[in-house]
Structure 1
Amino acid sequence: MAAALLLAFAAPAAPAVAADSPGRSAVETPAPTTRQPLGTKTLHLVDTSRPDPWKPSAGHRELMVSLWYPALPSRAGRAPYMSAALSKAMLGSDVLSGVRTHAVAGARPAPVARPLVVLSPGFQMSRLTLTALGEDLASRGYAVAALDHTYEAPVEFPGGRIEPCLICEKPDLDAVVRNRAQDIRFLLDRLTGPGSELRVDRHRIAVVGHSIGGASAVETMREDPRVDAAVNLDGDFFLDPPAKGLNRPVLLLGAQRGRDTEDSRGDWERNWSHLTGWKRWLDVPDGGHMTFTDVPWIVDRFGRPAQIPPEQVPGQFGTLGGARATALTRAYVAAFLDRQLRGRPSPLLDRPSTAYPEVTILK
């Protein structure tokens, strides 16, 4: 549960379809909850205050960011999920280049300041594997920014340059968490400062992360008083818990973390008492580590990667289908953010739900 799994598709179960194929529809990301028009932008940012920690010879730290936001209506076409080149770098196939999202590239943002949610992916995972969650949050009225952490996964930069994962073989996971927190804080500086690409409410900010991105979300909140709430999607913490605790809201949403074993519960149990603000521990017993990402619906559409060892399948995927995985992830993350950033109570966080029987409230 510590780090995500790099997927590699030998071949898709069905061919990807180009968006403009006559008489045929492109494969789509799961439809957002509302019909709010959405926009998306891609940012290339350079943090001139520090060298790249994984490749100092590269110069200053470079980051790629995807924005999703409520937009003014537009007749332009919807943005692709990812380029053929990045799909090949990530998966060994261009299968995802035919997938279309629900956001229009470059659409004008609706002229209202929005609560800001930053998304951090799992290790070896692209920021784009959080697209279904990002688009859904934008459809609910949030400004959303997902960032890649360069050299921790293949990342595509302007001009088609793709930087590989340099530290995948021997990662220092403690250092990964600390460095990601710096990446996120730099992004917050950019999005809350003059010349921001989005109108955001600087007084309502949350960070949500999957796997080690979840640990990084909590660490960023510990370091940065601008962050009001954090969500950890099935990520171990890695760093020692803060001695004085963390007195701000944290949601822990995991898979198979209710079993009475050290591997399932130990890391979260050790950190639980150090989370001294509002907190909740939810578990999806039939889920897997990938449940909270785009991977389940991608697998449903294109098939499970043949290269994944059979012994890893239960822990990574569980038995939950893509539609349910996407629905429950969106519902519980949104309920938490609505509660903490907008002051809207939700029974989802307080008692079992007949709408989502897959989710257990552990604490």
Structure 2
Amino acid sequence: MQTPTTDQTRQLPQLLEPRNPGIDLDLDWVRGLQANTPAIGRRAQTLPGRRSVKKEVQAAWLCRALSCIDLTTLSGDDTPGRVHRLCAKARQPVRADLLHALGLHGLTVGAVCVYHDMIAPALDALQGSNIPIAAVSAGFPAGLSPFSLRVAEIEASVAAGASEIDIVISRRHVLTGNWPALYDEMRAFRRACGNAHVKAILATGELGSLRNVARASLICMMGGADFIKTSTGKESVNATLPVTLVMLRAIRDYHTRTGFRVGYKPAGGISKAKDALVYLAMIKEELGDRWLRPDLFRFGASSLLGDIERQLEHYVTGTYSAGWRHAMG
């Protein structure tokens, strides 16, 4: 198995890539975007059957997927104790004996994602680990609080120590085609983040069409988003392969025109290792190997980690273990 190098597994995007500064709003480009929904559906439907990896290659891909997880807890009953346990799992996501058998050392998740009030406990638990803390912000998950409060919330999370901010956009701007308003909002959120990287959550399940997903993706990148993210995880429809294909191609087009690489984060509903492998395969085909690193790709997930660990134990021992052997805390 190929062991990732230190540079390949460093999580903070700004350490490896120039930040996307954004560009002037180009409405001709935005309005020219279309989405062939039947073709996109066929492409997404056939991918799982055409691309599969086995044995040691599968184990290596699962380790890469693990390193790209934003280990997340976004529940109303979150406590400092729960966050401490989550951070302990982030620092040691796979049992030491399995890592030893795989020949991997120092493997961690990509980041820990929490609400603003849980930043301090996360900072305490992750001290010395170099694992970034991502905070959800801007009126998460609906994005309907007063604009000034959303900006202030971002600034407060950055001041509290979050190095990545997951903001939610105003869906109404997309649904009404008010692209200048969405662009201005994204620019304001980017300014509020300062040196912290910003992930723009599109809430794709609420945007109405794949064409809207493509246009919203492009507007957020024009506005300076470092990542574009599918969902809050709270919508009825979260990350899907058709949506992923549309967003990846928007990222590819933006990189082709501007030279800046923007990251991608699917979130919500990705709980099985086999599903993670399909997402990695699509990214490899659409964007190339450079995007298969935690500085440009993340899974927004929690239960996914447990299934990946089970699959790695099966690779090492030849047997499947009970889920409680890989508990999150």
| TM-score, normalized by the shorter chain, greater than 0.5 | no
TM-score range with shorter-chain normalisation? Answer: 0.3 to 0.5
Higher helix fraction (1 or 2): 2
Which is bigger in relative contact order (C-alpha 8 A, separation at least 6)?
2
